[in-house]
Amino acid sequence: MTEHPTKPDPVAHYRAVLDSLDPRLRIASKLRALFPMIETQVAAGVPHAAIMEDLAQAGLAVRPTTYITTLRRWRKAKRPQTAPAVPVATPTPTAHRTAPDTPRTTPTPPPMDAIQGRPHGIETPSDLRQIRNMRVDLEALRREGQEQRQKATNPTPQDKE
């Protein structure tokens, strides 16, 4: 395989970084030092297998599981901690609305007899156990769904207010 003369050699870059590190470091620590370069290659479309071959040529033989696990942990540590899990869109206030105001209906939670043992929020492992042990009355949920569909298709004068 012929190398393009202007293409940078990743193996040489890996060797330079590895030579600057303490040889007593663990493989994962050495990988963390190389991940900024690895990320640019991944973004450029280089397969992970090719990157691992380059690492082996540079003198750092890495098992695929070690590579993937360390990469995931490194990416997770890079992620900002203050970012919410789901981005929330905030409406921007406007001076006037172009669309007519339509009443917004929020879905009502199922009646308490349909789902029993529901926690208010998931914050602890015990909340997850509560969800796993919930009793759900499927017939009551079906009836409620039918009522909501009927209200949506046939609004009563009381619903229009």
Task: Give the model confidence (pLDDT) of 48-79 as tens digits.
Answer: 999 999 999 988 888 999 889 988 888 888 88
Q: What's the pLDDT score for residue 57? A: 92
Long-range CB contacts (within 8 A, 24+) of 66-69: 66/27, 66/28, 66/31, 67/31
Threshold 0.85, pTM exceeds = no
Mean of per-residue pLDDT scores for the chain: 76
**What's the pLDDT tens digit per position in 114-154?**
666 666 777 888 888 887 887 778 888 888 888 888 888 87
Q: Which of 19, 32, 40, 39 minimizes the C-alpha distance to 62?
A: 32
Which sequence spans correspond to the domains of the chain? 10-78, 115-156
